[in-house]
């Protein structure tokens, strides 16, 4: 067979449950702490920001959590997403590897993010919430929540990281098309934004700053809650539809992955494709290698410290134990805006700490080179974030060629790059430089980590 091959499931086979890795972990992750008392947070601490249904999911240890029918109904518009066997890429690489990719770019917003945006908007609507605030890096998450808000009749305000706001005007246009209000962060709309602008008027912004702004508004208004596009347990949970579908599709293809590769910003698309397979391994099923790929300019999993830290720069969130570069770390303004986050999901950090996954970091030009090679063989233009997973998968396939072994490689093509073509133009024009973070700034940010005695 010479064609790339698509495996689709009937839409009636959209999963009925999300999969919760907490049920199968050999050891529970460290608790999330209240920054004032340093005691584990309880539901009441989180209630100003999230509806109780999502807080319950955040702490649940049940293996399966039912997907509400109204959420499945919205999923039905683009799920199940295709799983492709990348035959043309395999031939071009002259690899004996079997390369599969799950394509999440078919959602209305163009990435995996609507999987949780739709769920979060639904639960907030059920709780009577009228407005949601959020942050966005590349704009994928902001446009996903804007779409979900439009579906469930919730007003959405998005704080978009300044550098992406300038680089990606069409993402902002998409959010506004869905009816959301998009503000460049740091902004004059919050006291934290004003304080950042006072000390750095030219600030590029960061996800950590945008989170503080969105949280500040939600915490101060009764009709408003906050939605996060990654990192939290319930967000990772919602993304497991990706891996659950991929499992069934690979079964239809009569195959099973030896290696799974995903890119990691806050960890949600990675968790989405990985957790169902990892859960099966932890329950005694087949073992596999799992590789997280991150940008060398913001390397939380490979260079960060596993420590308690704030999720935001303004220190309004609880403290979570995670791989972190320090909440004040300012990553350089590279193009994969969705990967410019100082921390990593506590659950992803925990499984890294348990030795269940590997992590590696790549420079952005290597990733664009891989993304262009992929596009020229498979036809799909990946989002700059997804290029990290493409690069990781290609390296695994080359390794198979060098070792003369055929392994099944599965990766998550978590979004398309149709709004990121300026980044591709910059790459073709030789204007895309590899960016190093500032070592002294990293040392300073790590020195500023809160000192927390481990709870026993
Ligand atoms: C296409 C895409 N991939 C990946 C990410 C990184 O987030 P996560 O690690 O939560 O999947 C983002 C975040 O905005 C994104 O837009």
Cα dihedral value 37, 40, 240, 278, nearest 10: 120
The pLDDT of residue 141: 97
Segment 278-323, tens digit of pLDDT: 999 999 999 999 999 999 999 999 999 999 999 999 999 999 999 9
Question: pLDDT band at 10, cuts 50/70/90?
Answer: confident
* Crossing angle of the two packed helices 191-199 and 207-220, in degrees rounded to 10: 150
| Contact present, 385 and 415 (Cβ < 8 Å) | yes
For 226, left (φ over 0), alpha (ψ -120 to 50), or beta?
Answer: beta
CA nearest neighbour of 426 among 296, 363, 335, 362: 335
d(CA 154, CA 152): 6
- Residue of 230, 239, 384 to mutate, ligand 1, most atoms within 8 A of C-beta: 230
Is the predicted pLDDT of residue 227 greater than 60, yes or no? yes
Task: Please name every residue paired with 259 in a beta bridge, in sequence order, or none if there are none.
Answer: 289, 409
- Residue of 107, 111, 231 to mutate, ligand 1, most atoms within 8 A of C-beta: 111
d(CA 372, CA 283): 38
Segment 189-222, tens digit of pLDDT: 999 999 999 999 999 999 999 999 999 999 999 9
Is the predicted pLDDT of residue 367 greater than 60, yes or no? yes
Is the predicted pLDDT of residue 187 greater than 60, yes or no? yes
- Report, as an integer, the average pLDDT of 63-72: 98
CA of 33 to the centre of ligand 1 (A): 25
* Cis peptide bond upstream of 436, omega within 30: no
Is the predicted pLDDT of residue 374 greater than 80, yes or no? yes
Report the mean per-residue pLDDT for the chain: 96
Question: pLDDT band at 455, cuts 50/70/90?
Answer: low
Between 229 and 331, the more confident residue is: 229
The pLDDT of residue 375: 98
In the chain, the domains with their CATH numbers are 5-14+65-110+234-447 (3.40.50.1100), 112-233 (3.40.50.1100)
Contact residues of ligand 1, CB 6 A cut-off: 111, 137-138, 140-141, 230, 263-270, 338-339, 383, 385-386, 414-415
Segment 155-167, tens digit of pLDDT: 999 999 999 999 8
Burial of 254 (0-12, 13-18, 19+ CB in 10 A): exposed
The pLDDT of residue 121: 98
Nearest CA to ligand 1 atom 5: 338
- Report, as an integer, the average pLDDT of 89-117: 98
- Residue of 115, 143, 163, 268 to mutate, ligand 1, most atoms within 8 A of C-beta: 268
Residue 19 sits at φ, ψ, to 5 deg, of: -100, 130
Is the predicted pLDDT of residue 135 greater than 50, yes or no? yes
Is the predicted pLDDT of residue 393 greater than 50, yes or no? yes
- Report, as an integer, the average pLDDT of 98-103: 98
Contacts of 210 (CB under 8 A, 6+ apart): 135, 136, 137, 159, 160, 161, 185
- Counting atoms of ligand 1 from 1, which one is nearest the CA of 385? 3
Q: How do strand 259-263 and strand 5-7 relate by DSSP bridges?
A: unpaired
Segment 42-53, tens digit of pLDDT: 999 999 999 999
Is the predicted pLDDT of residue 3 greater than 70, yes or no? no
Segment 262-275, tens digit of pLDDT: 999 999 999 999 99
| Widest Cα–Cα separation across the chain | 62
Nearest CA to ligand 1 atom 2: 385
- Residue of 102, 103, 112, 136 to mutate, ligand 1, most atoms within 8 A of C-beta: 112
CA of 37 to the centre of ligand 1 (A): 32
* Cis peptide bond upstream of 186, omega within 30: yes
Residue 7 sits at φ, ψ, to 5 deg, of: -110, 120
CA of 106 to the centre of ligand 1 (A): 15
- Report, as an integer, the average pLDDT of 346-370: 98
CA of 265 to the centre of ligand 1 (A): 6
- Token pair 């999720």 is found at 311
CA nearest neighbour of 389 among 265, 297, 280: 265
d(CA 89, CA 97): 10
CA of 425 to the centre of ligand 1 (A): 21
- Report, as an integer, the average pLDDT of 323-329: 95
Is the predicted pLDDT of residue 1 greater than 50, yes or no? no
CA of 137 to the centre of ligand 1 (A): 9
d(CA 79, CA 145): 17
Share of the chain above pLDDT 90, in %: 92
CA of 293 to the centre of ligand 1 (A): 12
CA of 264 to the centre of ligand 1 (A): 7
CA of 358 to the centre of ligand 1 (A): 19
Residue 277 sits at φ, ψ, to 5 deg, of: -70, -40
Nearest CA to ligand 1 atom 13: 338
Nearest CA to ligand 1 atom 4: 385
| Contact present, 372 and 342 (Cβ < 8 Å) | no
In the three-class reduction of DSSP (H, G, I as helix; E, B as strand; rest coil), residue 178 is classed as coil
For 450, left (φ over 0), alpha (ψ -120 to 50), or beta?
Answer: beta
CA of 36 to the centre of ligand 1 (A): 31
CA nearest neighbour of 15 among 62, 68, 58: 68
Nearest CA to ligand 1 atom 3: 385
CA of 338 to the centre of ligand 1 (A): 5
């Amino acid at each position: 067979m010479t064609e790339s091959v698509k495996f689709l499931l009937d839409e009636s086979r959209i999963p009925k449950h999300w999969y919760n890795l907490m049920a199968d972990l050999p050891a529970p992750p460290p608790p999330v702490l209240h920054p004032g008392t340093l005691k584990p947070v309880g539901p009441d601490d989180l209630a100003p920001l999230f509806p109780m249904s999502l807080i319950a999911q955040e702490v649940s240890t049940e293996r399966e959590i039912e997907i509400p029918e109204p959420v499945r109904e919205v999923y039905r518009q683009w799920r199940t997403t295709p799983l492709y066997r990348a035959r043309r890429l395999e031939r071009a690489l002259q690899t004996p590897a079997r390369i599969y990719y799950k394509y999440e770019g078919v959602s209305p917003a163009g990435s995996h993010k609507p999987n949780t945006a739709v769920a979060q908007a639904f639960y907030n609507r059920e709780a009577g919430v009228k407005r949601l605030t959020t942050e966005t890096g590349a704009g994928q998450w902001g446009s996903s929540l804007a779409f979900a808000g439009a579906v469930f009749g919730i007003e959405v305000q998005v704080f978009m990281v300044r550098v992406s706001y300038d680089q990606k005007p069409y993402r902002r246009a998409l959010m506004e098309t869905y009816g959301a209000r998009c503000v460049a962060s740091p902004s004059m709309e919050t006291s934290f934004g004003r304080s950042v602008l006072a000390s750095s008027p030219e600030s590029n912004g960061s996800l950590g700053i945008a989170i503080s702004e969105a949280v500040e508004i939600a915490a101060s208004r009764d009709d408003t809650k906050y939605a996060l596009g990654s990192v939290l347990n319930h967000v990772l949970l919602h993304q497991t539809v990706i891996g659950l579908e991929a499992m069934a599709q690979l079964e239809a293809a009569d195959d099973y992955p030896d290696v799974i590769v995903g890119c990691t910003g806050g960890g949600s698309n990675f968790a989405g494709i990985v957790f169902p397979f990892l859960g099966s391994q932890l329950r005694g099923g087949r073992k596999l290698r799992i590789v997280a790929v991150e940008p060398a300019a913001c390397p939380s999993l490979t260079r960060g410290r596993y420590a308690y830290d704030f999720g935001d720069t303004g220190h309004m969130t609880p403290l979570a134990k995670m791989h972190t570069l320090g909440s004040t770390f300012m990553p350089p303004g590279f193009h994969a805006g969705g990967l410019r986050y100082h921390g990593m999901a506590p659950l992803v950090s925990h499984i890294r700490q348990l030795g269940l996954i590997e992590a590696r970091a790549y420079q952005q030009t290597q990733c664009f080179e891989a993304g262009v090679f992929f596009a020229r063989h498979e036809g799909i233009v990946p989002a700059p974030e997804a290029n990290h997973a493409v690069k990781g998968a290609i390296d695994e396939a080359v390794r198979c060629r060098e070792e003369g072994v055929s392994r099944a490689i599965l990766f998550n093509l978590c979004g398309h790059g149709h709004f990121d073509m300026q980044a591709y133009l910059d790459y073709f024009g030789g204007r895309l430089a590899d960016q190093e973070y500032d070592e002294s700034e990293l040392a300073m940010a790590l020195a500023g980590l809160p000192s927390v005695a481990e709870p026993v």
